[in-house]
């Protein structure tokens, strides 16, 4: 490979010799993000208000943004009960990617995770970017989140999702802190072993998906609920079809304040009704999927991570 491009090997899925439990074609992971209460606000000592907003209004001034703050409150007050009802109605064991502070501030959600058998996955201590943290700060951030989530839900998180941007250290720190899987990856429709920079041992990577995420209601080119439902169903259909030949996995990412609106929640219900009518779907938490994969694929080689050209061996 030419020395001015990074060393990168992209594996295909051809070598994956395993099956899902009971011969399922598809592992389906419903991911409920809980970030409300962890967003930026000068009230909590942040330099400015939360930039992620249904209206896309971004203020770089140290002001309260009362409108957007109330949008986040909506997620807890109205969105959560609607989503909760559907999880119960369709018997869904979900993975809650939670910013720890949000669960501290919404004990009823923490109690539902604990009492109804859902998985608590860490989305950081607060909903913030890690990229400016040095190694010690990031380790502290990861630990503090795990301690808090263990306290509120009774389970120590085994998976991690960053607020999109993370560091070169993140994966190794997660491994050192005993995490089972990392989900900051969009490179595949199935789990794989990912190389860990600075560690001889690989880590289970459970790729996530942004294309079918309900964030698409908020970001351009945005989807209508009808579009989103069609997109989610077609994603499911294609992976279900491919699942006859190789194990496939689908992630559906949701947010309380987004899909929890009355004009959108019906699309989630329609999706759940649709997939519940199919045979051979393993609707599971991410920790169950990661554990199963790790057990079944002990010998699979790790994919080589992208390395910068200056780090290439001579
Ligand atoms: Zn998130």
Please state, in angstroms and rounded to a whole number, the distance separating the CA atoms of residues 284 and 13. Answer: 21
Q: How far is the CA of 33 from the centre of ligand 1 (A)?
A: 6
Q: How far is the CA of 176 from the centre of ligand 1 (A)?
A: 23
Q: How far is the CA of 36 from the centre of ligand 1 (A)?
A: 10
pLDDT at residue 59 in the model? 81
The answer, yes or no, to whether residue 311 has pLDDT greater than 50, is: no
Q: How far is the CA of 123 from the centre of ligand 1 (A)?
A: 7
pLDDT at residue 309 in the model? 45
Average pLDDT of the residues of the chain: 92
Q: How far is the CA of 98 from the centre of ligand 1 (A)?
A: 8
Q: Which domains does the chain have, with CATH numbers?
A: 21-304 (3.20.20.370)
Q: Which tokens go with 244?
A: 């006859």
Q: How far is the CA of 32 from the centre of ligand 1 (A)?
A: 9
pLDDT digits (tens, 9 = 90+) for 74-99: 999 999 999 999 999 999 999 999 99
**Most distant CA pair in the chain, distance:** 59
**Averaged over 171-189, what is the pLDDT?**
97
Q: How far is the CA of 159 from the centre of ligand 1 (A)?
A: 14
pLDDT at residue 225 in the model? 98
pLDDT digits (tens, 9 = 90+) for 46-65: 999 999 998 888 888 999 99
Residue 160 — φ and ψ, nearest 5°?
Answer: -140, 135
pLDDT at residue 308 in the model? 47
pLDDT at residue 231 in the model? 98
pLDDT at residue 17 in the model? 79
Q: How far is the CA of 62 from the centre of ligand 1 (A)?
A: 23
pLDDT digits (tens, 9 = 90+) for 294-303: 999 887 666 6
Q: Which tokens go with 261?
A: 């609106």
Q: How far is the CA of 299 from the centre of ligand 1 (A)?
A: 32
pLDDT at residue 8 in the model? 58
Please state, in angstroms and rounded to a whole number, the distance separating the CA atoms of residues 255 and 261. Answer: 10
Q: What is the DSSP string of the chain?
A: --TTS-B-----STT-----GGG-SEEEEEEEEE-TTSS--GGGT-SS--S--TT-----SS---HHHHHHHHHIIIIIHHHHHHHHHHTT---EEEE-HHHHHH-HHHHHHHHHTTPEEEE--SSS---TT--HHHHHHHHHHHHHHHHHHHSS---EE--SS---TTHHHHHHHTT-SEE----S-SS-EEE--TT-SS-EEE----STTSGGGGTSSSPPPHHHHHHHHHHHHHHHHHHTTTS-EEEEEEEEHHHHTSHHHHHHHHHHHHHHHTSSSEEE--HHHHHHHHHHHTTTPPPBPPPB-GGGS--
- Judge whether 128 and 135 are in contact, CB under 8 Å: no
User: Virtual CA dihedral for 195, 164, 182, 248, nearest 10 degrees?
Assistant: -90
Please state, in angstroms and rounded to a whole number, the distance separating the CA atoms of residues 201 and 186. Answer: 21
Which residue in the block uniquely carries the two structure tokens 């923490």?
Answer: 110
pLDDT at residue 304 in the model? 55
pLDDT at residue 126 in the model? 96
Please state, in angstroms and rounded to a whole number, the distance separating the CA atoms of residues 235 and 131. Answer: 31
Q: How far is the CA of 233 from the centre of ligand 1 (A)?
A: 22
pLDDT digits (tens, 9 = 90+) for 184-242: 999 999 999 999 999 999 999 999 999 999 999 999 889 999 999 999 999 999 999 99
Q: How far is the CA of 217 from the centre of ligand 1 (A)?
A: 14
For the chain, percent of residues with pLDDT exceeding 70: 90
Q: How far is the CA of 251 from the centre of ligand 1 (A)?
A: 13
């Amino acid at each position: 490979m030419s020395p001015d491009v990074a060393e990168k090997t992209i594996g295909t899925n051809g070598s994956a010799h395993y099956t899902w439990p009971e011969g399922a074609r598809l592992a389906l992971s419903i991911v409920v993000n809980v970030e409300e209460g962890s967003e930026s606000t000068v009230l909590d000592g942040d330099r400015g208000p939360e930039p992620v907003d249904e209206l896309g209004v971004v203020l770089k001034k140290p002001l309260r943004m009362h409108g957007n703050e109330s949008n986040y409150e909506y997620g807890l007050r109205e969105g959560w009960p609607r989503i909760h009802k559907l999880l119960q109605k369709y018997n869904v064991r979900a993975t809650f990617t939670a910013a720890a502070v949000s669960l501290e501030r919404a004990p009823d959600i923490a109690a539902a995770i604990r009492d109804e058998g859902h998985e608590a996955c860490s989305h950081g201590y607060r909903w913030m970017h890690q990229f400016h943290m040095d190694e010690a700060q990031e380790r502290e951030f990861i630990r503090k989140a795990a301690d808090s989530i263990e306290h509120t839900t009774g389970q120590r998180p085994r998976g991690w999702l960053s607020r999109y941007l993370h560091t070169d250290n993140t994966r190794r720190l997660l491994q050192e802190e005993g995490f089972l899987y990392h989900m900051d990856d969009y490179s595949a429709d199935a789990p794989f072993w990912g190389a860990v920079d600075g560690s001889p041992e690989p880590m289970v990577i459970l790729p996530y998906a942004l294309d079918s995420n309900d964030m698409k209601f908020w970001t351009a080119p945005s989807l209508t609920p009808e579009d989103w439902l069609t997109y989610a169903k077609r994603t499911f259909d294609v992976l279900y079809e491919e699942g006859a030949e190789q194990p496939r996995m689908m992630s559906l990412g949701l947010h309380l304040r987004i899909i929890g609106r009355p004009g959108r929640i019906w699309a989630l219900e329609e999706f759940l009704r649709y997939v519940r009518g199919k045979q051979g779907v393993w609707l599971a938490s991410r920790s169950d999927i990661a554990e199963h994969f790790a057990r079944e694929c002990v010998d699979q080689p790790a994919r080589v991570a992208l390395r910068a050209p200056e780090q290439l061996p001579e």
